């Protein structure tokens, strides 16, 4: 507790989306102020943060003012320009550190980092042009997925190939951007571990959740996941290895495929994670408070859950079911304050809770 951030200190958050919103609420419960940096004027986090600095990520003067107004800085998304981080880090500590961002911002770098740790991933190959794609397809085969190395999320920036004949179309679909070809993994289901590491190196993990995706977007997470005791232990230990290798401070999401040969790492996210929203109603200390605890130098919570939970994202027109959902006494509702409904846009989520023992 010697490094404990003093009460009333200001935590800066890069990004003003729903994750920043929920981080701000958690920080307030622990006696901290938050300052959000986001180019959008009416972003979800701005509704609850103490301060909102509206500026572009290439505005060096605004970034300096932001850093000077904060005691430490964290982030809610990983695609932050390196130049912006350079400006901030010269003035204030950034937690989690820059190495986690460097690794996760580039899919190829991330895959190499994971395989260097001895962890299983999908087979992969770097793709810089059509010739390298042809070579990668000869090595990996189809079905496979061509993904941009940077800036992909929620199914964006990727194309599935079922035949080598689709190579030219796939390259055109991603705009001939630097890419990675990944082989399709035969898995029974996907799970994720929400893990945290504190300033002193202690690690705490939540129970793995089982994820269901549709159109590349997470639809639901169910806890407990279908895992054997050995698989559950392996998942938690694997997440801990990643955190320690990065000297990480904060919460991370680790997505895993469950296969007959063992657990395969899909990807890592150096931030609080959509699949960890179940912790808000299933644990005494949720992932957002856990992240604030970690970066502020507090002891970590142990992540023990007191309920089984099914988290369901409310995406696009799902928000039209609001009155129906509100009548369900077992459904805890979390809305993000977004007024514009778009297909594929996350508007909120619900946690359907079953207390343990029932």
Same domain (yes/no): 337, 195: yes
Q: 3-class SS at 265?
A: strand
Residue 102 domain-assigned?
no
Give the domain CATH number at 148: 3.30.1490.20
For residues 322, 326, 327 and 332, what is the CA-based torsion angle, rounded to 10 degrees?
130
How many whole angstroms separate alpha carbon 4 and alpha carbon 69?
A: 18
Do 211 and 253 have their domain in common? yes
Residue 2 domain-assigned? no
Q: Tell me, yes or no, whether 212 and 236 share the same domain.
A: yes
The verdict on residue 112 lying in a domain is no
pLDDT for 325: 93
Predicted local distance difference test score (pLDDT) of residue 153: 61
Return the pLDDT at 154.
Answer: 55
pLDDT in tens, the chain (358 residues): 557 999 999 999 999 999 999 999 999 999 999 999 999 999 999 999 999 999 999 999 999 999 999 999 999 999 899 999 999 999 999 999 999 999 999 999 999 999 999 999 999 999 989 889 999 999 999 999 999 998 766 556 889 999 998 899 999 988 888 999 999 999 999 999 999 999 999 999 999 999 999 988 999 999 999 999 999 999 999 999 999 999 999 999 999 999 999 999 999 999 999 999 999 999 999 999 999 999 999 999 988 999 999 999 999 999 999 999 999 988 999 999 999 999 999 999 999 999 987 6
Provide the number of structural domains found in the chain. Answer: 3
Q: How many residues does the chain have?
A: 358
Q: Are residues 163 and 199 in the same domain?
A: no
Let me know whether 178 and 207 are in one domain: no
30 and 134 in a single domain? The answer is no
Q: How many CB atoms lie within 10 A of CB 118?
A: 7
What sections of the chain are H helices per DSSP?
Answer: 18-29, 60-69, 82-89, 98-104, 107-116, 130-140, 167-173, 229-245, 279-282, 287-296, 322-326
Instruction: Please tell me whether residues 177 and 253 are part of one structural domain.
Output: no
CB–CB of 179/145 below 8 Å? no
User: Residue 101 domain-assigned?
Assistant: no
Separation of alpha carbons 1 and 44, rounded Å: 32
Tell the residue number behind the tokens 């993904």, with chain if given.
Answer: 147
pLDDT of residue 31: 98
Report CA-CA distances (Å) from 145 to 138, 254, 282, 325. Answer: 14, 20, 35, 36
Clarify whether residues 51 and 179 are in a common domain: no
Q: Considering the domain boundaries, does residue 104 fall inside one?
A: no
Q: From CA 108, how far away is CA 326, in angstroms rounded?
A: 43
DSSP reduced 3-state for 15: coil
Q: Are residues 88 and 128 in the same domain?
A: no
Residues 6+ apart with CB under 8 A from 126: 108, 132, 136, 178, 179, 180
Do 176 and 198 lie in a common domain? no
Report the CATH number that the domain containing residue 287 is assigned in CATH.
Answer: 3.30.470.20
pTM score: 0.94
Give me the pLDDT at residue 225, please: 98
Look up the CATH number of the domain holding residue 14: 3.40.50.20
Which residues span the domain enclosing 230? 189-355
The predicted structure's pLDDT at residue 2: 58
Residue 155 confidence (pLDDT): 57
Which of 162, 183, 204 delimits the end of a domain?
183
Q: Is residue 4 one of the residues assigned to a domain?
A: no
Residues 201 and 268 in one domain: yes
């Amino acid at each position: 507790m010697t490094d404990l951030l003093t009460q009333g200190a200001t935590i800066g958050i890069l990004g003003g989306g729903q994750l920043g919103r929920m981080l701000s609420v958690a920080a307030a419960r622990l006696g901290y102020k938050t300052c959000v940096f986001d180019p959008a004027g009416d972003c979800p986090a701005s509704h609850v943060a103490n301060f909102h600095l509206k500026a572009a990520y290439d505005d060096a003067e605004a970034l300096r003012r932001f850093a000077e107004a904060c005691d430490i800085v964290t982030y809610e998304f990983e695609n932050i320009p390196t130049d912006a981080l350079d400006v901030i880090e010269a003035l204030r500590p950034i937690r989690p550190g820059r190495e986690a961002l460097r690794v996760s911002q580039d899919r190829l770098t991330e895959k190499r980092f994971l395989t260097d740790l001895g962890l299983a991933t999908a087979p992969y190959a770097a793709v810089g042009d059509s010739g390298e794609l042809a070579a990668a397809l000869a090595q990996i085969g189809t079905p496979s997925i061509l993904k941009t190395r940077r800036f992909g999320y929620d199914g964006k920036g990727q194309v599935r190939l079922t035949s080598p004949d689709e190579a030219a179309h796939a390259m055109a679909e991603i705009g001939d951007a630097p890419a990675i070809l990944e082989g399709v993994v035969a898995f029974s289901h996907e799970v994720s571990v929400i893990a945290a590491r504190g300033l002193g190196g202690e690690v705490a993990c939540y129970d793995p959740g089982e994820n269901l995706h549709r159109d590349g977007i997470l639809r639901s997470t169910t806890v407990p996941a279908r895992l054997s005791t050995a698989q559950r232990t392996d998942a938690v230990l694997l997440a801990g290895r990643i955190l320690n290798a990065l000297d990480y401070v904060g919460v991370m999401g680790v997505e895993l495929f469950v296969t007959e040969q063992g657990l395969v790492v899909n990807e890592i996210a150096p931030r609080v994670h959509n699949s960890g929203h179940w912790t808000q109603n299933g644990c005494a200390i949720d992932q957002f408070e856990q992240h604030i605890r970690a970066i502020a130098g507090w002891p970590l919570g142990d992540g023990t859950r007191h309920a089984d939970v099914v988290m369901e994202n409310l995406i696009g027109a799902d928000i039209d079911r609001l009155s129906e959902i509100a009548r369900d006494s077992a459904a805890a509702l979390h809305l993000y304050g977004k007024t514009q409904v778009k297909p594929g846009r996350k508007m909120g989520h619900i946690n359907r809770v079953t207390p343990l023992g029932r």
